[in-house]
């Protein structure tokens, strides 16, 4: 008897086989991160196009070369590299690939500045994250340790020159298809999806994942240059608005940055909306008991994960607190530079 997991695997394989017939091939590239492999998409067209690349590691490069060779291509054959967003598991190999192939590199306007100044930009992001964590109750020693971890991750990214910037709604014209770049911020400020309207396909990066929810990670606004000390961005609020824009699209299939294809994007988006509502309700119950910092709430919800992945969990909590603040169901209380939230 077929298990649900086996049936899901069969459906995913069938979906990938269908898009392969249309010239789009999923290349699952290893990463050193908990999320597992990242999906790069090879589009056999003119120009020969690769959307995302995997992290900057020898293992990722080796497996990418093997995956290209299995399709009869080499890195030197690539003509266009496309970056979906600013996270290193998606663009880390871009500089090596561009140097070896001479390919153009395309990315959203604003993301080009981030990629061209990767090291400096990461410094600004780390300082921004440290301020957020300290303000919301994360102990100083935990913040210091996490900044060291972040610094160690930088080797998996790269500085890369974007040679073609894309505006929201701009078309990438290939010989046999047109991909429309659509800005869908939330998971990161630079999230960009690529819509093949003729085929009902969306190459979505981390905007919509089937097996896990995309974390709306707090980050400096895309237009920010240098240190940012403006209003805290509402990443989850932004992400939910982006999801609603995607929900109304007519799509046969979503090709995500991790995991299997998504066949019913509207149902999945509605499911994710309900999940976020439930999480906001849980947080409301916590702050109705007594005022709490975001770090205290993260501990209550995820235990020690709130220490080892403090910024990830803080971003989750603050995103749901924003839903409560915007609905006048919570208030912010600050004392000695530390913020607590209480039920309104």
Q: What is the CATH number of the domain that holds 200?
A: 3.60.15.10
pLDDT in tens, 126-158: 999 999 999 999 999 999 999 998 988 899 999
Residue 214 belongs to some domain of the structure: yes
Assigned domain for 333 exists: no
**Residues with Cβ < 8 Å from 269, sequence gap 6 or more?**
208, 243, 244, 246, 247
Q: What is the pLDDT of residues 244-267, one digit of tens each?
A: 999 999 999 999 999 999 999 999
The answer as to whether 246 is a domain residue is yes
- Domain assignment present for 303: no
Q: What is the pLDDT of residues 7-57, one digit of tens each?
A: 667 887 888 888 999 999 999 999 999 899 999 999 999 999 999 999 999
Backbone dihedral region of 67: left (phi > 0), alpha (psi from -120 to 50 degrees) or beta?
A: alpha
287 falls within a domain: no
In a domain, 331, yes or no: no
Q: What pTM value is reported for the model?
A: 0.94
Cα separation, 144 vs 149, in Å, equals 9
Assign 4 a pLDDT band (cuts: 50, 70, 90): low
Is 25 part of any domain? yes
What is the domain extent for residue 89?
4-264
Res. 1: pLDDT tops 70: no
Residue 195, strand partner residues: 180, 202
In a domain, 199, yes or no: yes
Average pLDDT of the segment spanning 170-176: 97
Residue 331 has what DSSP assignment? E
* Residue 197 clears pLDDT 90, i.e. is over it: yes
Percent of the chain with pLDDT over 90: 91
Which DSSP symbol is given to 212?
S
Q: How many domains does the chain have?
A: 1
pLDDT for 322 equals: 98
Which residues, other chains included, contact 50 with Cβ-Cβ below 8 Å and sequence gap of 6+? 40, 41, 42, 43, 78, 80, 81, 82, 97, 103
């Amino acid at each position: 008897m077929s298990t649900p997991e086996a049936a899901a695997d069969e459906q995913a394989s069938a979906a990938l086989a269908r898009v392969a017939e249309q010239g789009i091939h999923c290349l699952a590239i290893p990463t050193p991160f908990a999320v597992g492999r990242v999906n790069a998409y090879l589009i056999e067209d003119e120009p020969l196009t690769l959307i995302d690349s995997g992290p900057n590691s020898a293992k990722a490069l080796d497996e990418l070369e093997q995956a290209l060779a299995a399709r009869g291509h080499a890195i030197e054959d690539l003509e266009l590299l496309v970056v979906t967003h600013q996270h290193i598991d998606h663009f880390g190999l871009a500089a090596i690939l561009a140097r070896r192939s001479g390919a153009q590199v395309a990315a959203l306007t604003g993301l080009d500045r981030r990629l061209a100044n990767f090291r400096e930009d990461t410094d600004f992001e780390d300082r921004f994250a440290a301020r957020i964590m300290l303000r919301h109750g994360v102990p100083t020693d935990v913040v210091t340790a996490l900044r060291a971890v972040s610094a160690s991750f930088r080797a998996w990214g790269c500085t890369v020159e974007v040679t073609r910037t894309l505006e929201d709604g701009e078309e990438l014209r290939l010989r046999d298809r047109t991909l429309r770049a659509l800005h869908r911020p939330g998971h990161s400020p630079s999230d960009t999806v690529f819509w093949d309207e003729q085929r009902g396909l969306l190459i979505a990066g981390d905007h919509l994942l089937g097996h896990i929810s995309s974390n709306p990670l707090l980050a400096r606004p895309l237009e920010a240059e240098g240190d940012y000390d403006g209003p805290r961005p509402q990443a989850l609020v932004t992400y939910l608005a982006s999801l609603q824009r995607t929900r109304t699209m007519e799509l046969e299939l979503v090709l995500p940055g991790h995991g299997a294809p998504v066949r019913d994007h509207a149902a999945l988006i509605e499911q994710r909306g309900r999940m976020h509502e439930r999480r906001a309700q849980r947080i409301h119950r916590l702050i109705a008991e007594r005022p709490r910092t975001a770090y205290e709430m993260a501990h209550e919800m995820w235990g020690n994960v709130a220490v080892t992945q403090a910024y990830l969990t803080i971003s989750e909590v603050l995103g749901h607190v924003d839903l409560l603040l915007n609905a006048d169901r919570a208030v912010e209380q600050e004392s000695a530079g530390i913020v607590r939230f209480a039920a309104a």
